[in-house]
Amino acid sequence: TFTYQDLSSEFCVPLTRTDNIPNTYTNMCKYHAAHCPTSNIPMMLLNPQPYHVPNGMSTGKFSDGMVYGVVHRTDNNHKKEMVVYGWSAHQLKEEMNYIKDVRATLEKVRKKMYGEYGEMKRKIQQLTNELTITNVEKESLERHMQVQASALDSFSEMNSSLTSASIELQKTLVDVSLENTDIRDQIRNLKHTHEQSMEKLKEKQKQLETAQVENQLLKLKVECSQEANADVMREMTRRLYSQYEDKLKQEEQKHIAEKETLIAETNRLLKAIEEANKKMQITETSIQEKDKRIGELDQFIQRMEETEMEKKDSLEIMSGDKNVGSQHLEEVAAGLRERIKHLDDMVHCQQKKVKLMVEEWHHLLFHFLLR
């Protein structure tokens, strides 16, 4: 049976698998292709007819595992002869593998070319982005030079506001220190009253212990004298027991009342301590804010010094007459820096004082709670 047909512009190649065909050429079929008048390509397949071996070829046997093709020559010299060619399966596989390798290499070359084009395009885009960034930075530097002129005017106003804020901070610290001294005195008074109440409670406990001992002695006496005068002893013990219970209830009520007063006093003092702690926290936050503002001012002064140095260099190149103004600005900046440093030292000292007061307050509260 015919399995493959290759069409070209000059001739038709019918391929025949000859594994199970008879051994003679007479059983082969041939294709007769009608040629298209425009493209000279075989277009239609006619009915197979018996094929006669040309030029006196013998009708031998085909070898197994071969692929044969019949070539119809169209030139005038051979007078439309038919020629049979054979190929082994190994040769066909090698040709197919070669075609696959060629296609793979072509695909790799295509990918490499497209990759290099994309890299060049990306580099061009990166260079354009860098140019735009440099233009933007240039504009921002020009705007910054314009802003620095107005910043010098606002610096004096900020300095005056900082001095007023430092004065207010010192006032608040003095008020907090006075409140802390009052709280310390109240805690000492509370400790003294607590110690006195504890001594009273110890005395009451001793009295209760003596009363219990007396009660036990009375019980022993009652047990010894029950046989002699049971009724009298019962009455006496009943009276003594009732008196003892009354005294015990009175002492318990006094103890409860004193305990409630102590608890109320401690709650009041704890509330006062909490309020003082809140005030201390508020002052600490205000101190931190002032420290932050001082740091920002210091950074601003450093930036101003750098800009002044740059301006000084540029002005020295242009003319030497303007050195006096730059020196004056440097002296003003140095004076402002010293003032800010002095204020910073004052704030740190106040912070240390506040921390010491808070630690002392916590120490007193801890000892009070332990007692």
Q: pLDDT tens across 22-44, in order? A: 333 333 333 333 333 333 333 33
Nearest to 32 by CA among 5, 58, 68: 5
Q: Is 173 exposed, middle or buried (0-12, 13-18, 19+ CB in 10 A)?
A: buried
Q: What pLDDT sits at residue 37?
A: 36
Q: What pLDDT sits at residue 198?
A: 80
Contact 177, 353 (CB under 8 A): yes
First to last CA, the chain: 116
Q: What CA–CA distance (Å, rounded) separates 305 from 371?
A: 60
Q: What pLDDT sits at residue 61?
A: 44
pTM above 0.85, yes or no: no
- Integer-rounded Cα radius of gyration of the chain: 59
Q: What CA–CA distance (Å, rounded) separates 275 from 281?
A: 10
Residues in the chain predicted with pLDDT less than 70, given as ranges, are 1-87, 117, 145, 148-150, 152-153, 155-156, 159, 222, 224-233, 276, 312, 314-329, 332-333, 365-371
In this structure, are strands 2-7 and 12-17 parallel, antiparallel, or unpaired?
A: antiparallel
Q: What pLDDT sits at residue 25?
A: 34
Contact 70, 84 (CB under 8 A): yes
According to CATH, the topology of domain 135-370 is Helix Hairpins (1.10.287)
DSSP letter assigned to residue 320: S
Q: Is 248 exposed, middle or buried (0-12, 13-18, 19+ CB in 10 A)?
A: middle
Contact 350, 170 (CB under 8 A): yes
**Domain residue spans of the chain:** 2-80, 135-370
Q: What pLDDT sits at residue 235?
A: 75
Residues forming a β-bridge with 214: none
Q: Is 125 exposed, middle or buried (0-12, 13-18, 19+ CB in 10 A)?
A: exposed
Element (H, E) at 35: strand 33-35
